[in-house]
Structure 1
Amino acid sequence: MKKVLFFLALVILISSCDLIEDHIGTPDPGIPPKSVLQKNVQYPLPFNVLGTLENNVEIRNGGFGSAATAHPTHEGEFYAITDRGPNTNFLDGKKFPVSDYIPRIGHYAVNSDAEIVLLEEILLKDPYGNPISGIPNPEGKGATGEIPYDIAGNQIPFDDFGMDAEGLVALKDGTFWVSDEYGPHIVHYSATGVELERISPIGVNEGNGGRKLPAVYAKRRANRGMEGLAITPDERVLVGIMQSTMHNPESIRADITRIVTLDLYTGSTKQYLYRQQKANLSNSEIVALSNTKFLVVERDGNFAGAEAAQKHIYEIDVSVATDVSGADDASEFGLMIDGKTIEQSSWEELDAAGIVPVEKELVADLVALNGYSHDKLEGFWLIDNHTIGCLNDDDFAVSDEDGDGTIEQKILPGTDDVDASSLYLIHLD
């Protein structure tokens, strides 16, 4: 496929700053999804086109697959969130072809025609009501070391309130909690998307008061931060999962990831370890079944059919796991084991120190179930204790396969189909 250089003219067709006020479709209230949706069948989400490059490569909005969560009171409705917007690798950072893109929450419903209907978009805003961007944070505010550039290759300013949103929780009071890959931050947003509180690791965003995450979480690997966020059924405890092994202290690619819990009543935190099937996989979503049991996505970045792919969902139990918080949440490297960080330690060394990871049991293999064709299984909506709705991140329908700053359409291997954020109904044993 012919590649298109980023500096080619981008024709903006639809402003990313516009809130969609009109429904794209009219839902039938209270439609049980299982009554109209078939299992293991693809149901694409509706999208707009943000812009088109010269050889018809579309940038789509799209992108509503970084996380999903059930509407807390309306059956047949769910929310999904975008990440920081379309981007590719460039020099020492990222190029943003739609640099004013505003991360947003989509509110969806299922109608009687078995269609996914977009009801509204909720644009994320800073505490003053100004739309934020997906541009990285500056030093001291959650910087990842990524330098932002616009489509012409010009460096652009950092955004103190920028979010690379990846985890989403909807509360019964209409507000949202969102986790991200920068700080990492956990941010509380109002029903209209205005920031109410930003919780960051100790040492990040100091001076803003309030609750904090343990300092070690600032060691997250760039672009693999807090990828999933859940809340216990009593809406008391937030539970975040890191995508991959943290760089603690150096660049490490292992099979150890961390789960952190934050009690919203007391502000206290706990930490648990998750053992991946192999090094460098991604934990892309977490959803609560109870106060101690959760569903977790564990995946690779492969497309099914092109090569062996893993898109697994596990049930985990944190009640049997060891809290690895240590004595001091302000410790830069967290709990140490014989002079080594947890990430530097082997499972044999951790076992000898009496550290037990969460229990995990495979409950769904999406490649085995339906040949799941997408690379990024990143969100799911818990419909009931035997059914979930899975969503993929389509990267706004563009890709940068060689990592050299060029852009092309994201096509599913072996097909002519553009990758699209889609819902699949999955039965769990």
Structure 2
Amino acid sequence: MKTRVLKIVFTITLATTLIACNDDDTPSPYQLPEISNKGIKLPYSVLKTTNNNVEVRNGGFGSAATAHPTNQGEFYALTDRGANIKFGSDKIFPTPNYTPRIGHFKLNTDGSIEMVREILFKNPAGNNISGRPNPEGYGATGETAYAEDQTTTLDDDKYGLDSEGLVAMKDGSFWVSDEYGPHIVHFDANGKQIERLSPKGIAGETGDRKLPAVFKTRWANRGMEGLAITPDEKTLVGIMQSTLYNPSKAEVADFTITRIVTFDIETGTTKQYLHKQEKAKNSNSEIVALSNTEFLIVERDGAFTKDTDKNLVQKHIYKIDISNATDVSDADDTLNGKLVNGKTIEQCTWTELANAGIVPATKTLAVDLIAELGDYPHDKLEGIWLINPTTIGVINDDDFAVWTGDNSATNQKYISKTETSENIDGNTLYIVNF
């Protein structure tokens, strides 16, 4: 489907009102400002500067995005667990006490973006959580958290979140999905935990409402990357970033098999559907509802266009429909889920699944960001703000402007793995029609 980029001129000034009123006090329709195909950078502050002069930024508002449920021209964006650096199979946390959070942003009429406020996540007692891993039994990924000295181990946090999916409710509360458990957590308007949903068999704090046990087999760091709410606000819809390791990584037959889960907020009932990725080990990084059965999703690779032939880089948004997809729930809610001829779903090929009558969600390409913008220079397309029925804003995860360098050092993140002096990656909003 051909889409159209909204053309604009970009200026930076703080601004004013988004919705004008007529003489009869009736709000005028919201008018988007013009925004160039190079996008608008979100504001940030500096959390710390390392000994080798690397800025760790706050920043990080790109793991998810969602529309403000009532205020046109405003959106929320989500951080993940905070700056983290690969350290073998473990992680170094340059800012170990960082609290994952939501940023409330406003797109002004002059094309600038301002932050309205931050909402920090808190445990049921009202204390700030961290992004450090969960302990064993609470959704642990097997990672050990280290301080920047690479020798000091950091405490686990049973309320810790690697937050990746975000829903804003009309009552002011939020639902957030993550990559540890994976968990889905309900927070009040001030960020205090109300309820925590985890796969069956993971310790929780809020009773018997659970996600299916099979989600415990998630690929570590590729958990529930996207979360949506249906327009009637009755059903949460989560999408896993990648294939479950079910029963193990070695036994996965096809790494394009990914799962969607729905959760009825009133009854706690769940259903599961399959999504077929375009390429093995792609990332499903966002989901937003268009109706109770139709959704936009991000499906992307992790490449930069500065490092790779643009024609081979994938930053796609698809429209999917689950109305005719097969519910692959397991009535007994076992760890390995529904079996097909004695095999887990992830042990099957798509042909075997089709022969068993299992139909995935349908999908059609809605936007190819590189084709529509001329370039999309970031590696991690992760947030969709649904502005109106035909227009979306998309945001990238900038990893707090840092990434792993030699010897697990904290290096500045640029929009290329070979860049050394400019173009620091930053959260940037682009607007396109679909």
Equivalent residue number for residue 424 of structure 2? 418
Contact 2:196 2:204 in 1 (8 A): no
> Take 2:168 and 2:349, find their aligned partners in 1: how far apart are those partners?
37
CA-CA distance at 1:30 after TM superposition: 3.0
Contact 1:297 1:314 in 2 (8 A): yes
1:38 maps to a residue whose letter is I
- TM-score of the superposed pair, with normalisation by structure 2: 0.90
Equivalent residue in structure 1 for 2:396, among 392, 398, 412: 392
Contact 1:79 1:105 in 2 (8 A): yes
> Take 2:67 and 2:34, find their aligned partners in 1: how far apart are those partners?
16
2:278 maps to a residue whose letter is Q
Aligned-residue Cα RMSD (Å) equals 1.6
> Take 1:264 and 1:27, find their aligned partners in 2: how far apart are those partners?
37
CA-CA distance at 1:29 after TM superposition: 3.9
1:220 maps to a residue whose letter is R
Equivalent residue number for residue 21 of structure 1? none
1:191 maps to a residue whose letter is A
CA-CA distance at 1:208 after TM superposition: 3.8
> Take 2:210 and 2:117, find their aligned partners in 1: how far apart are those partners?
32
> Take 1:55 and 1:206, find their aligned partners in 2: how far apart are those partners?
41
> Take 2:325 and 2:295, find their aligned partners in 1: how far apart are those partners?
13
CA-CA distance at 1:41 after TM superposition: 3.2
Equivalent residue number for residue 210 of structure 2? 212
Equivalent residue number for residue 303 of structure 2? 302
State how many pairs are aligned.
Answer: 403
Equivalent residue in structure 1 for 2:91, among 89, 94, 104: 94
> Take 2:113 and 2:30, find their aligned partners in 1: how far apart are those partners?
10
CA-CA distance at 1:55 after TM superposition: 3.0
Describe the shift of the 1:333–1:353 C-alpha distance in structure 2 as closer, same or farther (beyond 3 A): same
CA offsets, 1:243-301, max 9 Å, x none?
00011111147001100000011110000000000100000000000000000000000
Describe the shift of the 1:55–1:156 C-alpha distance in structure 2 as closer, same or farther (beyond 3 A): closer
Alignment of 1:60-209 (within 5 A): 60-153=57-150, 154-206=152-204, 208-209=206-207
> Take 1:30 and 1:164, find their aligned partners in 2: how far apart are those partners?
35
Contact 1:27 1:117 in 2 (8 A): no
Equivalent residue number for residue 25 of structure 2? none
Contact 1:39 1:426 in 2 (8 A): no
> Take 1:353 and 1:317, find their aligned partners in 2: how far apart are those partners?
20
Question: Does residue 1:317 correspond to 2:317, yes or no?
Answer: no
Describe the shift of the 1:319–1:401 C-alpha distance in structure 2 as closer, same or farther (beyond 3 A): farther
CA-CA distance at 1:57 after TM superposition: 1.2
Describe the shift of the 1:28–1:157 C-alpha distance in structure 2 as closer, same or farther (beyond 3 A): same
Describe the shift of the 1:98–1:281 C-alpha distance in structure 2 as closer, same or farther (beyond 3 A): same
Contact 1:25 1:119 in 2 (8 A): no
Equivalent residue number for residue 3 of structure 1? none
Equivalent residue number for residue 221 of structure 1? 219
CA offsets, 1:132-187, max 9 Å, x none?
00000001111011111111221111001000000000000000000000000000
The answer to which of 253-262 and 280-289 deviates more is 253-262
Question: Does residue 1:328 correspond to 2:325, yes or no?
Answer: no
**Which SS does the other structure have where 2:166 is aligned?**
strand
CA-CA distance at 1:327 after TM superposition: 1.7
> Take 1:361 and 1:306, find their aligned partners in 2: how far apart are those partners?
27
> Take 2:176 and 2:76, find their aligned partners in 1: how far apart are those partners?
12
Equivalent residue number for residue 236 of structure 1? 234
- Return 5+ residue gaps in structure 1 as ranges: 1-23
**Which SS does the other structure have where 1:367 is aligned?**
helix
Question: Does residue 1:37 correspond to 2:58, yes or no?
Answer: no
> Take 1:194 and 1:86, find their aligned partners in 2: how far apart are those partners?
22
Contact 2:263 2:271 in 1 (8 A): yes
CA-CA distance at 1:40 after TM superposition: 2.7
2:193 maps to a residue whose letter is E
Alignment of 1:250-399 (within 5 A): 250-251=248-249, 252=252, 254-307=255-308, 308-329=312-333, 331-370=334-373, 371-399=375-403
**Which SS does the other structure have where 1:213 is aligned?**
coil
2:398 maps to a residue whose letter is D
> Take 1:91 and 1:399, find their aligned partners in 2: how far apart are those partners?
14
Q: Percent identity?
A: 57
Equivalent residue in structure 2 for 1:56, among 53, 58, 71: 53
2:41 maps to a residue whose letter is P
CA offsets, 1:18-39, max 9 Å, x none?
xxxxxx9554243877531325
> Take 1:128 and 1:216, find their aligned partners in 2: how far apart are those partners?
30
> Take 2:42 and 2:35, find their aligned partners in 1: how far apart are those partners?
15
CA offsets, 1:335-372, max 9 Å, x none?
01112111111000000100000000001000111110
Contact 1:27 1:110 in 2 (8 A): no
> Take 1:33 and 1:290, find their aligned partners in 2: how far apart are those partners?
22
> Take 2:401 and 2:283, find their aligned partners in 1: how far apart are those partners?
20
CA-CA distance at 1:54 after TM superposition: 2.5
**Which SS does the other structure have where 1:218 is aligned?**
helix
1:328 maps to a residue whose letter is D
- Return 5+ residue gaps in structure 2 as ranges: 1-12, 21-28
